[in-house]
Amino acid sequence: MKIRTIKYLLKEGISNTYKNLLMSLASLAMVISSLLIFGVFLMITINLFYNYNRLESQFEIVVILETDATSFEASDIEQKIISDERVFSYKRVSKEEAFSEMKEMLEDSELITGLTPEFLYESFRIHLKDADQSEAFVEELSVMPGIKEMEFPRELLEKLGVFFRWMNVGSMFVLTLLLIISVSIISNTIKLTVYARRREIGIMKYIGANDWFIRWPFIIEGMVIGLVGAVISFILTSYGYNAIESYVNRELISGSLEVLRVKSLDNISARLLLLYVIIGTVMGAIGSIISVRKHLNV
């Protein structure tokens, strides 16, 4: 295809979009509502993952050393922890620190009288980047001498892991389903506009236009509508979402109750816009191709 033909087809597609304004607006409304529904599910999914990760990062592995562990053994273990890539952060808790923590917890009650730091254990509290690695991490560390025992919420992690995997599959399924439904709704709307212009397509065929020459303006039309729809639904979604986010995070959960949080969109809004634009234009293009196909057999 020649450059000037590409230019011509682009111009055709764009001018057709506003020459058939009413139909374009109908398709646009479909794109926007589809993307809004898609957006709601996407936001729910994003927040499920976000909160899962937050929860997960709060888990820690506690490595408790023998009372008689030497300082060599302790620093060997620390060295091993430092050099491990999976470790996000760790804290070394000395006997003294453990003692003062305990004192605080028991509020200087009588239970503590006669107790000295010497009776307590030195420990490491470790946060991994990915809590799923806990099992393997603990396994490897356990060969080190001087360790009394290690604690981590094995069962809870397993359950969460299973939940996470199902959530992963489930959300992908729902989002894909939504996209398929959207494409079919949009292509049905475009079908109406194509049907209204089937005579036009017939005329083009009589003049000797090949299929792509007829198809491209429709595809471009679909892409323009998809693009505009994507930008509008992105703006609507982020406005609505930010309102909900500030309400939930600032009013409902003020500081102390930090179990669930709504993720801020600030960091991902550029990527989100890109995603909307891609989905919108691709949906528009596919919708057009599907709708024009039938009318090309003249």
Partner 1 sequence: MIEFINVTKRYNNGVIGLNDASFRIEKGEFVFVVGPSGSGKSTLLKLILHEEVPTEGEVYVNGFNIGQMHRREIPYLRRGLGVVFQDFRLLPNKTVYENVSYAMQVVEAQPRDIRRQVPVALALVGLSKKAKAYPDQLSGGEQQRVALARALVNSPAVLLADEPTGNLDPHTSWEIMKLFDEINQRGTTVVVATHEKNIVDDMKKRVISLEYGQIIHDVQKGNYINED
165 interacts with partner 1 by CB under 8 A: no
5 interacts with partner 1 by CB under 8 A: yes
Structure tokens given for 64:
């408790």
Neighbours of 259 (CB within 10 A): 8
Q: Which of 67, 142, 210, 246 binds partner 1 (CB under 8 A)?
A: 210
19 interacts with partner 1 by CB under 8 A: yes
Nearer to partner 1, 27 or 237 (CB): 27
Q: Which of 55, 175, 179, 209 binds partner 1 (CB under 8 A)?
A: 209
22 interacts with partner 1 by CB under 8 A: no
208 interacts with partner 1 by CB under 8 A: yes
How far apart, in Å, are the Cα atoms of 294 and each of 180, 281, 287?
20, 21, 12
Q: Which residue has the tokens 């899962």?
A: 52
Window of 12-20, 63-71, 121-129, 226-234 that interacts with partner 1 by CB under 8 A: 12-20
128 strand-pairing partners: 87
The site map against partner 1 for 166-205 (x = CB under 8 A) is ---------------------------------xx-xxxx
Nearer to partner 1, 18 or 173 (CB): 18
- Give burial (CB, 10 Å; 0-12/13-18/19+) of 134: buried
Neighbours of 292 (CB within 10 A): 24
How far apart, in Å, are the Cα atoms of 70 and each of 36, 78, 79, 145, 150?
62, 12, 14, 10, 18
298 interacts with partner 1 by CB under 8 A: yes
Binding residues for partner 1 (CB under 8 A): 1-2, 4-5, 8, 16, 19-20, 199-200, 202-210, 213, 298
